A and B are shown apart, each in its own frame.
Chain A
Amino acid sequence: MKISDLTYEHFSHKCKYEGIKIELAQSVISLHSQYPDLLESVFSLYSDYSVSEAIADFKVELTPPLSIRRYIKKQVCFKCNSKEPFMPLPRAQAFPLLEWGLNWTATNHINTHLLIHSAVLEKSGNVLIMPGTPGSGKSTLCAALTYRRGYNLFSDELAFVGAEGDLVYPNARPVSLKNRSIDIIKEFAPDIVHSNVIHDTIKGSVAHFKPPANSVKNIKPARPKAIIFPKYQADLPTKQLKLMQKEKADTLLELSKHCFNFSVLHYHGFEILGKLINNSNCYSLEYGGDLATALKAIDEIME
């Protein structure tokens, strides 16, 4: 049964009183909250996800703090299995806090895979990994490839690389976009459902876009084909592009800096990462403002 098979009343009742178990590709969460705006966003953006009957891996709660800030200048707390990893945030940021909390939950608990901070997409059985620091434009490219180029969204945030380094596992969740990227993608793909834009977060203005139903349904791993380090360069002429093949030893060292659990997996993580690089072509891509030019170059790599 999918979330969209429930009425909103039934869904919100479960969230408020017993928790609703949502099956993500790599874990099951039990979500508990009473905030109507948060529940409306979850109901809308997670409508294609299955409601699970399995035991939940993580109990996730979004609740008011036990202080005066539950009444005045209201705040919201994120808890995972009763632990509270973050300071409370302003109440209006409940949905972004849930998404950031789910990222934290995965990166701090799942060590069956090597986790790399990157956007991940799949096309014709081949996986594209795009690591990048904040502001590099990886999520913008990821959204454009997902909503306009027919790529399967594996994740806009985390690559789950299997133990042999030859398979990457999907973990599609809403695509997080910030600041100018929100309007760019709204213009690029005006029909995509998204959350309200939340302003004044630590990342600026933030909105989340609904993952395509196919990406949620598709939970088969695929083989890595390319690793591209994108970099949006405001000073480049709009349609200009710098695409360069990257040397692999360089890529290995650079990619290790984007891994969340490299130190946990230790030597095993090194082997996974090396095999992943062996299986992939590696590039750096600097692009100006024109998304279409960048997408065309990526398409050619993935053909």
Chain B
Amino acid sequence: MQDSKPLLTLNKVHPDIGETFFQYSDGLVIYHRTSKTMLRLENLLSEIFTFCLDHPQGLSDADIIKLKCGESTSKNNIADINQALSGLKSKNIIVNENIRPDI
């Protein structure tokens, strides 16, 4: 078995983020339960957040490729998306799990 490279990457909304969020024309506001703070996400960040929210089981490689190249974010390049993903991870807004099926 090759164990050097993850076969599947999951990006899920962190359980600290409540179910309710408010989306307005100037951004999306979410609430972080542990730190008791509100966070405002704009543009690409809000798009990735809602994409993750629409995929409660997490994102497969295919979903991430779709996010990177698909309809909603086609104008953004992959580097921007990777940066946004790591930004959301660092703020505990989404979680990332690397799963290596033991086959």
Contact with B along A259-299 (1 / 0, CB 8 A): 00001001100110010011000000000000000000000
Selected interface stretch from A101-109, A124-132, A170-178, A245-253 = A245-253
A218 to B25, CA, bound (A): 37
Q: Report if A274-B26 is in contact (Cβ < 8 Å); known contacts: A252-B38, A267-B33.
A: no
Chain A contacts for B24, CB-based, 8 A: 247-249, 252, 277
A270 to B27, CA, bound (A): 16
A277 to B24, CA, bound (A): 10
With CB as the reference atom, state the residue of chain A lying closest to B30.
A270
Q: Are A278 and B22 in contact (CB under 8 A)?
A: yes
Q: Are B18 and A253 in contact (CB under 8 A)?
A: no
Chain A contacts for B38, CB-based, 8 A: 252-253, 256, 270
Q: Report if A267-B29 is in contact (Cβ < 8 Å); known contacts: A249-B40, A253-B38, A256-B38.
A: no
Chain B contacts for A250, CB-based, 8 A: 26
Q: Are B22 and A263 in contact (CB under 8 A)?
A: no
Q: Are B36 and A247 in contact (CB under 8 A)?
A: no
Contact with A along B13-50 (1 / 0, CB 8 A): 00000101010111111010100101010000000000
Q: Are B18 and A270 in contact (CB under 8 A)?
A: yes
A190 to B30, CA, bound (A): 48
Chain A contacts for B25, CB-based, 8 A: 247-248
Residues of B within 8 A of A (CB): 18, 20, 22, 24-29, 31, 33, 36, 38, 40
Q: Are B26 and A249 in contact (CB under 8 A)?
A: yes
A277 to B31, CA, bound (A): 15
Contacting B at CB under 8 A, from A237-259, are 247-250, 252-253, 256
A263 to B24, CA, bound (A): 23
Nearest CB of chain B from residue A278's CB, rounded to whole Å: 7
With CB as the reference atom, state the residue of chain B lying closest to A250.
B26
Nearest CB of chain B from residue A282's CB, rounded to whole Å: 10
- Contacting residue for A249 out of B22, B31, B33, B36, CB 8 A: B22
- Contacting residue for B40 out of A253, A274, A277, CB 8 A: A253
- With A249-B27, A252-B24, A253-B29 known, 20 other A-B pairs at CB within 8 A are A247-B24, A248-B22, A249-B24, A249-B40, A252-B22, A253-B38, A253-B40, A256-B38, A263-B36, A266-B36, A267-B18, A267-B20, A267-B31, A267-B33, A270-B18, A270-B38, A274-B20, A274-B22, A274-B29, A278-B22
Chain A contacts for B31, CB-based, 8 A: 267, 270
Q: Are A252 and B33 in contact (CB under 8 A)?
A: no
The list of the 6 closest CB pairs from A to B, nearest first, reads: A247-B26, A248-B24, A249-B27, A274-B22, A270-B31, A249-B24
With CB as the reference atom, state the residue of chain B lying closest to A277.
B22
Chain B contacts for A249, CB-based, 8 A: 22, 24, 26-29, 40
With CB as the reference atom, state the residue of chain B lying closest to A267.
B18
Nearest CB of chain B from residue A232's CB, rounded to whole Å: 26
Chain A contacts for B40, CB-based, 8 A: 249, 253
With CB as the reference atom, state the residue of chain A lying closest to B25.
A247
Nearest CB of chain B from residue A279's CB, rounded to whole Å: 12
Ordered by A's residue number, 7 sampled pairs between the chains whose C-beta atoms are within 8 Å are A249-B22, A253-B29, A253-B38, A266-B33, A267-B33, A271-B20, A274-B22
